[in-house]
Amino acid sequence: MNSSFKIVLVAAAVFFGMMLLNKPKEKEAQEAQTNEVAVQESAQASMTDAELALIPSIVREIGVRDTTGGRESFSYRTDAVALNVADGHLDGTISVDSFTVAVDSALVRHFPVEMNVTQQDMAYNTLVKELKEIGVYRKFASLRKPVPSADTVRLENDVLAIEFDAHGGIMSKATLKKYKTYFASKTDKNKIDSAQVEVFSPADRATYWFKIDYNNNYVDTHHLYFTPRQVNDSIVEMTVDLGDGARWGYRYTLPQGESYLVRMDVIQHNTQNVLPQNTTQMGMAWKMELPRLERGLTFEERNSGIYYRYFGETPDNINGNSSKTEKINHRVQWLAFKDQFFSTIMLPRKGFESGVVQQQAYKVHPDAEHIKFLAADMVVPYSATDEIAASFDVFIGPNLYPLLKDIDVQLGVDDGLSLTRVIPLGWSWLRWINTLIVIPVFTFLSGFVSNYGIIILLLTIFIKLIIFPFTYKSYLSQAKMRLLAPEIKEINDKYPGKENAMVRQQKTMALYSRAGASPFSGCLPLLLQMPILIAMFSFFPSCIELRGQSFLWVQDLAAPDVIFTLPFSIPFYGKEVSLFCLLMTATNIVYTRINMKNQPSSSSMPGMKWMMYLMPVMFLFFFNSYPAALSYYYFLSLLITIIQTWIFRRCVNEEKLRRKMAENAARPKKKSGFMARLEEAQRKQQAALREQQKGRRR
């Protein structure tokens, strides 16, 4: 194949095929999840006599004391269970639906005859679960009940707004104020419904919690209700009162201005009599359903997932359409839940010690609201004696290369964080093209031109100017081969048949040598262009600046430019029709035709013609769901190449080129060592062939 563009697209086609092979088996995952839930629901809770014997003393410890009537009693209540302890005896009630049953009766499964089996099991399991958790949580038990709170607590600056939830004391919702979603309207596909981007929210089941070492057990903080305190416009504290002046919680700090970094400190005060003082580690769990934020689904699925970096190493990831669990056995510097253009990155000041990360990819339909489930169960260093037990920097924002690169400076990390690696800019040996050339030029042009369609045009021209010498050299090579075509045909006609193959090859190579031409001289320029073309294939789907940018008929350059929707679906193509993809395909066919005319060997291989024209049609299927900016760039690149070819054809005087080739042929040439060895090998091969033919005649 004569075009480097086609080679790049072949690589894209292979990648597309791999993507199809890696589709998650949604049915199997759903069945496994259903079976797991069924097993959990069918399992009966149980409680030993030893565990039950501890409950009265625990209720005395955590319950509300009452001395009415001169008799001391303690009570503890939740939504379903009411417990009382007086004179060391435990009683109370459990409420299920409209039934209220005494605790003593429920523990021996003695229920009213009006209760069905399901209600009886629910009452028993609820009671046992509550009693067991009281045994675990003790002083924390009362913190598991909702507390009245005022309005939603928020922190916000010019670019980021954070909402907090008292249940778990977490950041429950993060909104990017300068970025919007660009989904097609459900009532009119030609219109866009936009809203501010929510990186995570309660609708995504987004949560995180810590596991506090307490009473030989672990208390999960997402079961606790925290008390919020707005310190100032930049700081919010979420704490739980453990009694006797002991407090534990979080302090969140969001700097004013245009900062996407939230500082999260785990704070504690006077906890030495409540929590063990020899603890050096603390568990942290983090999970969420990754929301769909982009109109173009192909690259959002492919470029989202879990990213993490071992100290001093290149970041690793689980992305694409795979469902996978990975165990982390070494220290990790940061952990990211990443969407195509936005990320939430946890950066513990002392790193993560170890952990497990998991990704479950969904089989996403066009109207899906979530694309993946991400989870991490990590271990972080913990200081039991310090006021700040652990500290995190949390990045919540866009995957913008200059911004992520600047985080290293903001956090003062000497050896760097490599956060820019969450942006997929190609393989390591090609990535430098984007980071050192394409992104700086793109950013520079963005400072002067507001229309990103024009910026892509200027960027394409800039790249074409860089590779112009290689393109020109490739055309000259094709022109020389075209001029030599009649003489090559004469050699082929003079030495026909397989028995003359070596002679034909020798004569042809001698002709090339005399004329100063080579059939391979045009390959090197094409190979040198390939890295740039592949780098651009990675750059445009990762360029967040293109989100929501319109150009001509395109509403969003980061998504497919759908001009109409078919009433039926075509395999590997879909229903939606991308116009730039059609233009790219048509231009590619024209370029293929021009290129074949410039190749003298094309007429001798008529069987290849249909294959050459088939490839652009195949890529029509592959690129239809890709971002409009990518198809637009390849369309421009091909169009400029066609124009360059026409200009070369007009400007290059083939008669002068023929005379120059004749002059080269007239000059005495000193054979290079390689050519001498090649000709010697050909002579030996030809001699061996003659000996073999003589042996057959005998």
Distance between CA atoms of 159 and 397, rounded to whole angstroms? 9
Q: What is residue 663's predicted lDDT score, i.e. its pLDDT?
A: 63
**Portion of the chain with pLDDT greater than 90, in percent:** 22
Distance between CA atoms of 21 and 193, rounded to whole angstroms? 33
Task: Judge if 277 and 404 occupy the same domain.
Answer: yes
Distance separating the N- and C-terminal Cα atoms of the chain? 44
Task: Judge if 76 and 178 occupy the same domain.
Answer: no
Q: Say if 684 falls within a structural domain.
A: yes
Q: Say if 429 falls within a structural domain.
A: no
Task: Judge if 408 and 483 occupy the same domain.
Answer: no
Instruction: Point out the least confidently predicted range of 455-464, 637-646, 655-664.
Output: 655-664
Backbone torsions φ then ψ of 660, nearest 5 degrees: -65, -40
3-class SS letters over 13-29 = HHHHHHHHHCCCCHHHH
Strands 305-310 and 574-578: unpaired
Tens digit of each residue's pLDDT (9 = 90 or more) over 157-193: 999 999 999 888 999 999 999 998 877 666 666 666 6
Residue 37 has pLDDT above 60, yes or no: no
Higher-pLDDT residue of 680 and 94 is 94
Q: What is residue 474's predicted lDDT score, i.e. its pLDDT?
A: 73
The predicted model gives 397-416 an average pLDDT of: 85
Residue 478 sits in which domain range?
4-22+439-665
Distance between CA atoms of 472 and 545, rounded to whole angstroms? 33
Question: Roughly what angle, to the nearest 10 degrees, separates helices 4-21 and 609-623?
Answer: 50
Distance between CA atoms of 493 and 604, rounded to whole angstroms? 12
Neighbours of 528 (CB within 10 A): 16
Q: Say if 41 falls within a structural domain.
A: no
- For residue 67, name the pLDDT band (cuts at 50, 70, 90): confident
The predicted model gives 23-28 an average pLDDT of: 40
3-state secondary structure of 281: strand
Q: What are the beta bridge partners of residue 214?
A: 217
Q: Which of 144, 164, 180 is the last residue of a domain?
A: 144
Residues near 50 by beta carbon (within 8 Å), at least 6 away in sequence? none
How high does pLDDT run on average in the chain?
79
Task: Judge if 259 and 392 occupy the same domain.
Answer: yes
Distance between CA atoms of 300 and 666, rounded to whole angstroms? 61
DSSP string over 111-143: --TTS-HHHHHHHHHHHHHHHHHHHHHGGGGGG
Residue 527 has pLDDT above 80, yes or no: no
DSSP category for residue 553 = T
Q: What is residue 458's predicted lDDT score, i.e. its pLDDT?
A: 94
Task: Judge if 229 and 101 occupy the same domain.
Answer: no
Backbone torsions φ then ψ of 5, nearest 5 degrees: -60, -40
Task: Judge if 331 and 228 occupy the same domain.
Answer: yes
Q: Judge contact between 253 and 234, C-beta under 8 A.
A: yes
Task: Judge if 502 and 634 occupy the same domain.
Answer: yes
Q: Say if 432 falls within a structural domain.
A: no
Distance between CA atoms of 606 and 20, rounded to whole angstroms? 33
Q: What is residue 664's predicted lDDT score, i.e. its pLDDT?
A: 60
Scanning 387-494, the segments in alpha helix (DSSP H) are 401-411, 428-433, 439-446, 452-466, 468-494
The predicted model gives 534-558 an average pLDDT of: 88
* Token digits of residue 548: 């929501």
Domain total of the chain:
4
- For the chain, helix, strand, coil in percent to 5 are 45, 25, 30
Tens digit of each residue's pLDDT (9 = 90 or more) over 111-120: 888 888 888 8
Q: What is residue 24's predicted lDDT score, i.e. its pLDDT?
A: 39
Distance between CA atoms of 68 and 609, rounded to whole angstroms? 99
Task: Judge if 257 and 355 occupy the same domain.
Answer: yes
DSSP string over 77-98: E-SSEEEEEETTEEEEEEEETT
Q: How far is CA 4 from CA 11, 87, 426, 613, in A?
A: 11, 88, 17, 15
Q: Say if 35 falls within a structural domain.
A: no
Tens digit of each residue's pLDDT (9 = 90 or more) over 188-202: 666 666 788 999 999
Distance between CA atoms of 340 and 297, rounded to whole angstroms? 10
Instruction: Point out the least confidently predicted range of 196-205, 353-362, 556-565.
Output: 556-565
Tens digit of each residue's pLDDT (9 = 90 or more) over 603-631: 555 555 666 667 778 878 878 888 889 99
Q: Say if 44 falls within a structural domain.
A: no
Q: Classify residue 46 by burial, with Cβ atoms within 10 Å: 0-12, 13-18, 19+.
A: exposed
Distance between CA atoms of 136 and 141, rounded to whole angstroms? 8
Q: What is residue 14's predicted lDDT score, i.e. its pLDDT?
A: 43
- Which residue type does 432 have? W
Q: What is residue 266's predicted lDDT score, i.e. its pLDDT?
A: 93
Q: What is residue 12's predicted lDDT score, i.e. its pLDDT?
A: 46
Q: What is the pTM of this model?
A: 0.77
Q: Which of 91, 112, 144 is the last residue of a domain?
A: 144
Task: Judge if 79 and 202 occupy the same domain.
Answer: no
Higher-pLDDT residue of 431 and 469 is 431
Q: What is residue 531's predicted lDDT score, i.e. its pLDDT?
A: 84
Residue 522 has pLDDT above 70, yes or no: no
DSSP string over 222-276: GGSBPEEEE-SSSEEEEEEEEETTEEEEEEEE--SSS--EEEEEEEEES-TTTS-
Q: Domain of 329: which CATH number?
A: 2.70.98.90
Distance between CA atoms of 456 and 464, rounded to whole angstroms? 12
Q: Judge contact between 66 and 55, C-beta under 8 A.
A: no
DSSP category for residue 543 = -
Distance between CA atoms of 275 and 282, rounded to whole angstroms? 12
Highest mean pLDDT of the ranges 78-87, 257-266, 639-648: 257-266
Q: Say if 36 falls within a structural domain.
A: no
Distance between CA atoms of 474 and 464, rounded to whole angstroms? 14
Residue 9 has pLDDT above 50, yes or no: no
Q: Say if 27 falls within a structural domain.
A: no
Residue 33 has pLDDT above 70, yes or no: no
Distance between CA atoms of 124 and 131, rounded to whole angstroms? 11
Highest mean pLDDT of the ranges 63-77, 95-109, 330-344: 330-344
Burial per residue of 439-468, b for 16 or more beta-carbon CB atoms within 10 angstroms, e otherwise? bebbeebeeeeeebbebbbebbeebbeebe
Instruction: Point out the least confidently predicted range of 414-423, 431-440, 568-577, 686-695.
Output: 686-695
Higher-pLDDT residue of 292 and 600 is 292
The predicted model gives 29-40 an average pLDDT of: 39
Q: How far is CA 171 from CA 201, 207, 237, 513, 602, in A?
A: 9, 8, 11, 72, 64
Q: What is residue 609's predicted lDDT score, i.e. its pLDDT?
A: 64
The predicted model gives 85-98 an average pLDDT of: 86
Residues near 259 by beta carbon (within 8 Å), at least 6 away in sequence? 157, 159, 160
Q: Judge contact between 311 and 416, C-beta under 8 A.
A: no
Tens digit of each residue's pLDDT (9 = 90 or more) over 490-518: 777 777 767 666 767 776 776 666 666 66
Residue 632 has pLDDT above 60, yes or no: yes
Q: What is residue 459's predicted lDDT score, i.e. its pLDDT?
A: 92
Q: Judge contact between 304 and 204, C-beta under 8 A.
A: no
Task: Judge if 552 and 468 occupy the same domain.
Answer: yes
Q: What is residue 342's predicted lDDT score, i.e. its pLDDT?
A: 94
- For residue 356, name the pLDDT band (cuts at 50, 70, 90): very high
Strands 227-230 and 217-220: unpaired
Tell me the Ramachandran region of residue 541: left when phi exceeds 0, alpha when psi lies from -120 to 50, beta otherwise.
alpha
Output the CA torsion 51→56→58→60 (10° steps).
180
Task: Judge if 340 and 482 occupy the same domain.
Answer: no
- For residue 526, name the pLDDT band (cuts at 50, 70, 90): low
Q: What is residue 160's predicted lDDT score, i.e. its pLDDT?
A: 95
Q: What is residue 573's predicted lDDT score, i.e. its pLDDT?
A: 76
Q: Judge contact between 546 and 557, C-beta under 8 A.
A: yes
Q: What is residue 619's predicted lDDT score, i.e. its pLDDT?
A: 78
Task: Judge if 103 and 138 occupy the same domain.
Answer: yes
